[in-house]
């Protein structure tokens, strides 16, 4: 059973200053999870987590993770700028992009970040733009279909990312000739896996490739980046990943493949976003409308602007009616927002306690890819982000948008000059 990290009584106090809807993050949970990840990979001297900024691009959250020893995984100019502003330096930043604008390579090189090339043609592009750095990484795509025994399947062959195996081998030779001295290897084969097997299986694939690369190209492999893909149990019946067991599985693969090859000094990197943050964020909304037609609907003051995943993917997010955690779930509802789109639904045919107008609705697991995927369709404005501190206090870490924010890019428009907002 999923339980919120905040009580109805706490919410009643919070809304006195910050009206719903808002995203709320749990500092205590974030820090504990980061420490557990570090513990899981403590056997590897060079281990580092590079938090995927795209999941939760908030400077207060990033500062917490920085204090816990994490680096930053960036995929755009603004993410690089945010990392720079927060004091992430050089090898604390991993830049992984695709179809990359030239100015982003230039910025990444300016920051001396680790550049992770997504395509063979980027070698010449980077050479002409900035020159090849001493440390460089390449993203590997094995193609085909990736499966593991518990039914997880993804299709790297259809993914737009990465080098083929032949391109990686040729690319390392070329990069070495162009002056690169230390190399990383990166790959991402499946998303949101709820399995302790995924990382160990991926790790063994990359470890074996790293040994082959060393033998065929003579390059020095400095690190192997397992990227993301370790997921969370969105549904209450799912068993969560055991990060300690995952770390142990990677260790066994490392000892089986890397140590016999004399590569025991290779560092392990991760780029987790969802695993690091999703369970430690709630979207908190209020029930403001009920509708009785062919189905029973409860309308919230939040909508898909605040959480896009259910509308975009049909993704499941657990819902708790605050203060009614122990009441029977004997009412079936569609939980909706107010967008002029029928897919603006947080839940369909969901069994919940009886909901009355004014109830607080807590939508779970929104700490990653929640606020970050927001938008302004229908002229909707993004909600505030709040941090529940370890001492129980609440800090505003991003104010809610205003009409002035929405109209700000029309500053040149005379029609808007006298608008009252």
Q: To the nearest 10°, report the CA torsion of 365, 371, 377, 378.
A: 80
At 314 the pLDDT is 94
Is 280-410 assigned to CATH 3.40.50.150?
A: no
Domain(s) labelled CATH 2.40.37.10 in the chain stretch across: 280-410
At 147 the pLDDT is 73
Is 27-278 assigned to CATH 1.10.274.100?
A: no
Domain(s) labelled CATH 3.20.20.10 in the chain stretch across: 27-278
Give the residues across from 290 on adjacent strands.
Answer: 298
At 256 the pLDDT is 98
Among candidate residues 137, 329, 340, 413, the one labeled active-site is 340
The position carrying tokens 């980077």 is 126
Please confirm, yes or no, whether 138 is among the known catalytic residues.
no
CA gyration radius, the chain? 23
Asked if residue 63 lies in contact with residue 92, where contact means CB atoms within 8 angstroms, the answer is: no
Residue ranges, the chain, pLDDT below 70: 144, 148-154, 157, 412-421
φ, ψ dihedrals at 289, nearest 5°: -155, 145
At 122 the pLDDT is 96
Query: What's the CA gap between 3 and 282, in Å, rounded?
Result: 11
């Amino acid at each position: 059973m999923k339980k919120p990290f905040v009580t109805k009584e706490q919410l009643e106090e919070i809304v006195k200053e910050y009206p719903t809807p808002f995203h709320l993050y749990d500092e205590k949970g974030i820090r504990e999870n980061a420490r557990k990840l570090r513990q899981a990979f403590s056997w590897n001297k060079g281990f580092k987590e590079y938090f995927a900024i795209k999941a939760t691009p908030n400077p207060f959250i990033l500062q917490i993770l920085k204090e816990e020893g994490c680096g930053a995984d960036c995929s755009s100019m603004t993410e690089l700028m945010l990392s720079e502003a927060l004091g992430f330096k050089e090898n604390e930043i991993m830049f992984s992009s695709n179809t990359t604008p030239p100015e982003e390579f230039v910025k990444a090189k300016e920051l001396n970040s680790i550049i992770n090339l997504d395509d063979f043609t980027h070698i010449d592009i980077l050479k002409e733009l900035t020159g090849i750095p001493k440390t460089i990484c390449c993203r590997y795509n094995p193609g085909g279909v990736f499966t593991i025994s518990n039914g997880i399947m993804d299709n790297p062959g259809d993914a737009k990312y990465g080098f083929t195996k032949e391109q990686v081998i040729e690319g390392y030779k070329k990069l070495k000739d162009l002056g690169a001295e230390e190399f990383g290897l990166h790959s991402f084969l499946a998303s949101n896996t709820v399995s302790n097997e995924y990382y160990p299986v991926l790790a063994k694939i990359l470890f074996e490739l790293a040994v082959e690369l060393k033998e065929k190209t003579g390059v020095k492999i400095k690190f192997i980046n397992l990227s993301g893909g370790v997921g969370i149990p969105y549904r209450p019946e799912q068993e969560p990943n055991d990060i300690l067991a995952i770390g142990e599985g990677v260790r066994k693969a490392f000892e089986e493949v890397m140590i016999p090859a004399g590569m025991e000094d290779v560092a392990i990197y991760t780029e987790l976003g969802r695993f690091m943050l999703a369970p430690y964020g709630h979207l908190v909304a209020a029930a403001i409308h009920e509708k009785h037609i062919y189905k029973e609907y409860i309308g919230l003051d939040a909508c898909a602007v605040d959480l896009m995943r259910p509308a975009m993917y049909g993704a499941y997010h657990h819902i708790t009616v605050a203060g009614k955690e122990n009441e029977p779930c004997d009412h079936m509802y569609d939980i909706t927002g107010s967008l002029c789109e029928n897919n603006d639904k947080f839940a369909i045919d969901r069994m919940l306690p009886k909901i009355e107008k004014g109830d607080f609705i807590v939508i779970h697991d929104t700490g990653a890819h929640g606020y970050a995927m927001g938008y302004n369709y229908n002229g909707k404005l993004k909600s505030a982000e709040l941090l529940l501190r370890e001492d129980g206090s609440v800090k505003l870490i991003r104010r809610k948008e205003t009409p002035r924010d929405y109209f700000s890019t029309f500053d040149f428009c005379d029609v808007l000059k006298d608008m009252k907002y």
